[in-house]
Amino acid sequence: MIKERYKIYRDFPMNAETNGDGVLKVLEGNEAVENAIRQWISSFRGEYIRNPSRGGYVTYWLLKPMNEDTRRAIKESIREGFYEDFSPEIEIRKLEVTPDYDRMIWEIHLEGYAPSVKVPINVYEKLRNLI
Strands (E) located in the chain: 10-11, 27-28, 91-100, 105-114, 119-128
pTM assigned to the model: 0.85
pLDDT tens, residue order, the chain (131 aa): 444 555 677 888 888 888 888 888 888 889 999 999 998 999 888 787 777 777 889 999 999 999 999 999 999 999 999 998 888 999 999 999 999 999 999 999 999 999 988 999 999 999 999 98
Cβ of 128: how many Cβ atoms within 10 Å?
Answer: 10
Q: Which domains does the chain have, with CATH numbers?
A: 10-128 (3.10.450.40)
